[in-house]
Amino acid sequence: MTVYDPSDSVVTATLDEQPATRRAGAFRRLLRTPLGLASLVALAVVVLLGLLEPILSTHDPLFASLEHINAPVGTPGWPLGGDQYGRDIWARVLTSINVSLVSALIGAGVGISVGTVFGLIAGYVGKRTDAVASWVFNLLMTFPALVLVMVLYPVVGSAYQGMMLIFGVFLAPGIFRLVRNLVEGVRNELYVDAAKVSGLSNLRILSRHVFYVVRGPVIISAAFLSSAAIGVQAGLAFLGFGSTQTPSFGSMTSDAFQSIYTQPVQLVWPALFLAVLNGGLILLGNAYRDVLAGPQSTRTKKRSLHEATVVGSATPRTAPSRSAGGLLSVRNLRVQYPAPEGGMKTVVDGLSLDVQPGEIVGLVGESGSGKTQTAFSVLGLLPKEAHITADVMTLAGDSLLGKKPAALRALRGGTISYVPQEPMANLDPSFTIGSQLMEGLVKGMSRKEAKEAILALLDRVGIPDPERTFRSYPHQISGGMAQRVLIAGAVVSRPKLLIADEPTTALDVTVQAEILDLLRELQRELGMGVLLVTHNFGVVADLCDRVVVMKQGELVEEGSVRDIFHRPSRPYTRELVGAILDEQTVRSDRPADNASRKDDLR
Amino acid sequence: MTALLEVEDLRLTYPGRGFRRRSAEILKGISLSISPGETLGLVGESGSGKTTLGRAVLGLAAPTGGAIRFEGRDITHASPRDRRALARDIQVVFQDPYTSLNPALQIADILAEPLIAQGTNPIEARRTALTLLDRVGMPSNSAERYPREFSGGQRQRVAIARALALRPKLIVCDEPVSALDLTTQARVMDLFIELQRETGVAYLFITHDLSVVRHISHRVAVMYRGELVETGDTAVVTSTPSHSYTRDLLLAAPTPDPDRQRERREARRELRAAQAARTAP
């Protein structure tokens, strides 16, 4: 895990326990949403009406009967009445549906196919191809599409299909940009590299590995583009572009406009069907987008700003009075998260922990053991969905139970401070190192004094040129330097307890050794207690006095660092220590022995 | 024994971005060779160029100088068609099992894909996929499941199975155990060794972890800032290194024993002090 994500361990754990479940298809999930179902049904009804036009209408949409000029709704044979020329409105509506659908198919179809094909190619090939294609499509985007379609009207002729073809080309740049950016994002995914190494042709990689990423967003855009094409076709026809022989919602609206004071109801029919078509398409697109984003949106990906507070247990197992002195004292800590399928998922279960002043305690365990969750509940940094209870949680004699977030905030950066795993991710790229460190300094200090204190501190944590680093932005320094900066920020307030979460995992081994040296020196100088969360037993051996071993949220064993390494009492600890790669054993078999053995795999 | 893979004076430079930017030389003349059935451990820190070297061998990065030969054939600038044919001989296992498997494909499809690409018929390929799963110790019901249903260690087993599908002669392993938990890491490494003994595949095993290298490699090559500083038998390089950088690397790796770690720390401090004294005017 590179970036801290509290829900990660929870979700992986639940997935592992589940039996194999096939993901329900996106379409089936779409049918399960009320919005998706409603818009699909509405669209299906309209489309069906259009398709059944030969059966449902008794007249040709162009047939004019003098007896039925402005005939009222409900006239036998003229269910929606006649228009000002005596044409059957019902027949005209049905034909207009077909015209709209064909417009949508042509407009969106051309836009999507041109945009997707070129987007896939430009995004995947990159370099010059991408530059040329992007330039052309950007140029296309600057043309006012509607105006150009009108200008080209004399060239393409009066058939609406031709106009939609041209309009479709102008819809392509949007799709092109969407697809290109998505493809560029996946092009460097390792599974695409793996597919290349597997000997797949580019076409196969595009269709199997890249296209699936693009598919969802393109389908969503297809709905919106269809709606746009229908609207534009109607608009052009309303303005009088296109053959008068082709009934369409646009020309119907235009006709109805001429008798709007005498026969206002004639305006209702084209407007109604146009609204259902366009609204249905847009809502369908929205519903499909929600379906695709579904599982992620219900789960809070980012850590919320409102921190959860630790609540005292309802039924304490240990009497609160029994809390020993110590710097940090935790009894019966329990952290739970609401599980997606209901109920609660426990990630830390009844953990007790003590850190004495000036002591370095290692909190060890594999991923999903709850070690980070434990550290974060002490810091008060777990997301608000977390239910945290404990019988006792005291820091330097002060109970943390039920403390308001504001009070906890005051503690953090004061009595208790924190060194994270990913130094770069924890520095704001848009501010200089100096300004970020100054922020944490105690108020009531002049800027000059604060700067001097920071410079002295940067020097103390082993940064070669403090003045320059002070003025640098995070991307200008190395990962090791960034971690030194964060350590400087953590000790600036002379904390009593330092919580370090895998502080060297992201660093190179030579840098790691230096950071560990620095932590040890600072701990001695300031007499801090340190809670070190790590999975690396080398780091534990280097730094820790005492070790707490965790597995699946529970405490397995606790003891002095020598006992844990030399005399582990629990089987799990023995397994963990046993898994450490021995320093003495070097691989001894010869490669020739392997080469001669060429067994068939199968 | 003739070498399976030979890399000779390999250079790779990334052109600088923007106007008149300096280009970055990632590989500065690397030469190494791997025999059939051998594991060559490639050690170095981040930015040393070890991953780029692996990618050049795989054809994912284009060298700007030098040569890569596989079974005597020059593959430095192999054509796309030749590369596709080479897939049968050279395969890969990446570090991150979370992004190296396509989340939208079932495990069986992931494993069958390279076989189908090489012309095996789909039914046969799927049957082989099941055998492969069994071979890497995955439960038989995993074929119809998706990558996200598995833990990191299990996904890495799937990635290993995919690499084995075409029965290659060489697998480039780019930090394949770095993202795994300690106990999982040990098991996956045992799987690597076991598969090598059975199939005679050679590994170019890229890692930053010396203890992993010691466990799995016959020989070790140490990279530092785009150059190869030391090559030799694992036992020699990891106990009596000749280059000062390798010595640095060895002493910096913390050993999981509090008392021996203290000694190592002192030794490293002395080395550092000696280096400082030498460079001081």
pLDDT, tens only, A518-573: 889 889 988 899 999 988 888 888 889 999 999 888 999 999 988 888 888 888 88
Residue A1, pLDDT score: 32
Residue B223, pLDDT score: 93
Chain B residues touching residue A199 (CB < 8 angstroms): 83-88, 114, 117-118, 166
Residues B200 and B186: beta-carbon distance below 8 Å = no
| Rg value, chain B, Cα | 20
Mean pLDDT of A321-334: 75
Residue A21, pLDDT score: 37
CA angle (A274, A279, A281) in 5-degree steps: 100
3-state DSSP assignment of residue A129: helix
Residues B192 and B160: beta-carbon distance below 8 Å = yes
The pTM score is 0.79
Chain A residues touching residue B145 (CB < 8 angstroms): 20
> Among B199, B197, B246, which residue's Cα sits nearest to residue B218?
B197
What separation in angstroms does the CA of B194 have from each of B199, B208, B243, B244? Answer: 9, 22, 32, 34
- Min mean pLDDT across A358-362, A377-381, A439-443, A515-519 is at A439-443
Task: Locate B106 and state its tokens.
Answer: 């079932």
- Min mean pLDDT across A313-317, A348-352, A443-447 is at A313-317
Residue B220 pLDDT level (bands cut at 50, 70, 90): very high
Residue bearing the bigger pLDDT, A281 or B21: A281
- Phi/psi zone of residue B24: left (φ > 0), alpha (ψ -120 to 50 degrees), beta? beta
Residue A315, pLDDT score: 60
Nearest CA in chain B to A2: B179
- Min mean pLDDT across A37-51, A346-360, A389-403, A436-450 is at A436-450
pLDDT, tens only, A449-504: 888 888 988 888 888 888 888 888 888 888 888 888 888 888 888 889 999 998 88
Residue A78, pLDDT score: 82
- B1-78+172-180+207-239 domain in CATH 3.40.50.300? yes
Mean pLDDT of A341-348: 82
Domains defined along chain A, listed by start:
48-265 (1.10.3720.10), 325-579 (3.40.50.300)
Q: Which residues contact A531 (CB under 8 A, 6 or more apart)?
A: A328, A353, A355, A361, A363, A375, A378, A497, A498, A499, A500
Q: How far apart are alpha carbons A542 and A493 in whole angstroms?
A: 25
Enumerate the domain spans of chain B.
1-78+172-180+207-239, 243-281
The secondary structure of residue A206, as a DSSP letter, is: I
Mean pLDDT of A579-583: 74
Nearest CA-CA distance, residue A506 and chain B, Å: 10
Residue A19, pLDDT score: 35
Residue A316, pLDDT score: 57
Q: Does the pLDDT at position A82 exceed 90?
A: no
Q: Does the pLDDT at position A111 exceed 90?
A: yes
Residue B174 pLDDT level (bands cut at 50, 70, 90): very high
3-state DSSP assignment of residue B256: coil
Residue A16, pLDDT score: 35
Mean pLDDT across chain A, nearest whole number?
A: 82
Cβ <8 Å between A599 and B198: yes
3-state DSSP assignment of residue B45: coil
Ordered strands of the B90-93 beta sheet:
B90-93, B170-174, B202-207, B39-43, B219-224, B227-233
Nearest CA in chain B to A209: B102
Residue B4, pLDDT score: 92
Residue A20, pLDDT score: 36
Residue B53, pLDDT score: 93
Residue A3 pLDDT level (bands cut at 50, 70, 90): very low
Nearest CA-CA distance, residue A18 and chain B, Å: 8
Residue A595, pLDDT score: 55
> Who among B87, B184, B257 is closest to A198 (CB)?
B87
Chain A residues touching residue B254 (CB < 8 angstroms): 512-513, 516, 536, 538-539, 541-542
Residue A592 pLDDT level (bands cut at 50, 70, 90): low
Residue A4 pLDDT level (bands cut at 50, 70, 90): very low
Mean pLDDT of A503-525: 87
Residue B196, pLDDT score: 92
- Phi/psi zone of residue A258: left (φ > 0), alpha (ψ -120 to 50 degrees), beta? alpha
Mean pLDDT of B239-256: 85
Q: Does the pLDDT at position B194 exceed 50?
A: yes
Q: How far apart are alpha carbons A407 and A451 in whole angstroms?
A: 27
Q: Does the pLDDT at position B201 exceed 90?
A: yes
> Who among B182, B185, B238 is closest to A586 (CB)?
B238
Mean pLDDT of B122-130: 90
Mean pLDDT of B228-253: 87
Q: Does the pLDDT at position A304 exceed 60?
A: no
Nearest CA in chain A to B94: A190
